[in-house]
Amino acid sequence: MSVTGFSPNEMMTIAASRALKGDDVCFVGIGAPSAACNVARLTHAPDITLIYESGTIGTAPQVLPLSIGDGELCDTAVTTVSVPEMFRYWLQGGRISIGFLGAAQLDKFGNINTTVIGDYAHPKTRLPGGGGAPEIATSSKEIFITMAQSRRAMVEKIDFYTSFGHGDGGDHRQRLGIDTKGPTLLITDLAIWKPDPVTKEFTVVSLHPEVTRNKVQETCGWTVKFADTLEQTPEPTELELTTLRDLKARSSGAAHKGAAVGARQGSKDG
């Protein structure tokens, strides 16, 4: 924990949650994006519509889902549709205002790699893959990205283009016929970044409490650009912190309980 009573990861999640509005229709990624979206739903944006890739619409989970197939999502959804309907009607139909994604590797133009580290044919590490993220990245009206900073994750050139951001920068999306905005916000555990209006290179616009420019640069694989007027991210409120911690405590308890029940059942069956 930091000296002000919250961790960098908690600051990241809460800063990301603040970017969401009650009238957003948000396509949610598992992990940090899911935590941020549900904190928003439980605090300042109770009317937000959360959609997960498995087809659950308007879901309101009381615990963080372990995957898109977690039953909690379907149990608490307004409705559940087929995956083809989700992608064709909702996503490609232009009905998603925000796509919220994570990344294993990211470059300064918001291109995301979640496929492989190293050469594709002989990778050092095989990652989970894209799932629906490539389509989310091109068909959502805009994209928010959240991730913890490290030189290994934030690189000059990603090893594989899983989800297209701003390509080589500038008007690359438009030249390819992609008419959505692409990545408009990056929230890390150290700072808030936005793309330059012309070059589309991510630029730091706000530092989290007690974070320095040097710290941001030390944990980034490209030369960081900072806004002329650099802000400081407001600290989490008591409500935001309590909501996030309670959500994670419920999630951890539910997961551990499930594992314990499974272990007991296995011993009975044996």
Residue 206 has a pLDDT of: 98
Q: Considering the entire predicted model, what is its pTM?
A: 0.90
Residue 31 has a pLDDT of: 87
Domains and CATH numbers, the chain: 8-269 (3.40.1080.10)
Please say whether the beta carbons of 165 and 183 come within 8 A: yes
Please say whether the beta carbons of 200 and 191 come within 8 A: no
Residues 5-58 have pLDDT tens digits of: 899 999 999 999 999 999 999 999 888 899 999 999 999 999 999 999 999 999
Q: Is 247 exposed, middle or buried (0-12, 13-18, 19+ CB in 10 A)?
A: buried
Active site residue 53: yes
Please say whether the beta carbons of 115 and 72 come within 8 A: no
Indicate which residue of 53, 135, 201, 240 is catalytic. 53
The pairing of strands 112-113 and 56-57 is: unpaired
Interval 197-221 mean pLDDT: 98
Token reading at 99: 């796509």
